[in-house]
Amino acid sequence: MTSASPPVAKPRYPSTYNPAPGHRFNVGDRIAIRRTFPPGHRRTPFYIRGKQGVIERICGAFANPEELAYGFDGEPKKVLYRVRFLQKHVWPDYNGPQHDTIDMEIFEHWLEPLPDTRN
């Protein structure tokens, strides 16, 4: 017996993807990373705090690692976004092509809205 579709390997681990129905931002939105320096386990690197970028995708909602790090359950889940930045904006002395970008996955509570200047 033949099948039109190739066999798909069963993933060893189920995906943790959660479609995040309550997300605050949409793809294309301009945002800034909060410039704040709280103590504790934080997953937002120092060098990106205060920088401006654009939402590239909504990754889903995940247990909050800033809470998991201290033995709590990480609920409520936080929405994670992939944010795109211009390299020359992140690194003022960047020598590469002007259009080079860096993508970073950052949780919603680290993001602030910026006025939309697209048109």
Binding site for other proteins (CB under 8 A): 35, 37-42, 45-48, 65, 68-71, 74, 91
Provide, rounded to whole angstroms, the least separation between the CB of residue 28 and other proteins. 26
Query: How many angstroms separate the CA atoms of 117 and 98, rounded?
Result: 20
Q: Is 24 or 41 the residue whose CB approaches other proteins more closely?
A: 41
The 10 Å Cβ neighbour count of residue 44 is 19
Query: CA dihedral defined by 15, 16, 20, 26, rounded to 10 degrees?
Result: -70
Q: Name the minimum Å distance from CB 46 to other proteins.
A: 5
Closer residue to other proteins, CB minimum distance, 70 or 116: 70
